[in-house]
Each structure stands twice: as C-alpha cells, then as structure tokens.
Amino acid sequence: MSSDDGKRRMNPGDEAPAGTPGTGEDLCPVCKGTGRIGHRDCENCGGTGRVIRGIGGA
Ligand SMILES: [Zn+2]
C-alpha cells in the first residue's frame, strides 16, 4: 500500500484526516455515536461512532 503514503484512514463522514489542525472528533450524525445502523456497522463513520469535523470555521 505504498501508494497510500500520507493518507490516513478516513470514513465517508470524515471532513479531514484524524489529527488535522482545526478539526476534532464529533459524534456521527448518522448513527448518533453508536457506530451501528441496525445490526450493521455504520458506513458513515466506519463503525467508530465518531467522525472528524472542522471546528475552526464558525
Ligand atoms: Zn456512524
């Protein structure tokens, strides 16, 4: 996976890679932090229940 150099694992609901300045974790709005949709992992957050969102703007 050398072509992924510099890429962090991101989920569809992430606005930026983890650790990006000006961003922070927030509860996933799709699964509301549970990481689950029914009996499946939430695709928006990859089952973590959290997404990365920008917190710097407003
Ligand atoms: Zn989720």
In whole angstroms, what is the distance from residue 17 CA to residue 31 CA? Answer: 20
Please write the tens of the pLDDT for every residue from 16-29.
998 889 999 999 99
Residue 55, pLDDT score: 83
Q: Is the backbone of residue 31 left (phi > 0), alpha (psi -120 to 50) or beta?
A: alpha
Residue 5, pLDDT score: 53
Please write the tens of the pLDDT for every residue from 2-57.
555 556 678 999 999 988 899 999 999 999 999 999 999 999 999 999 999 998 65
Which residues have their alpha-adjacent CB atom under 5 A from ion ligand 1? 28, 30-31, 42, 44-45
Q: Residue 25 C-alpha to ligand 1 middle, in angstroms?
A: 12
Instruction: Give the Cβ contact number of residue 10 at 10 Å.
Output: 14
Q: Residue 38 C-alpha to ligand 1 middle, in angstroms?
A: 11
In whole angstroms, what is the distance from residue 25 CA to residue 56 CA? Answer: 13
Residue 19, pLDDT score: 85
Q: Residue 2 C-alpha to ligand 1 middle, in angstroms?
A: 28
Alpha-carbon 38 to chain mean position: 19
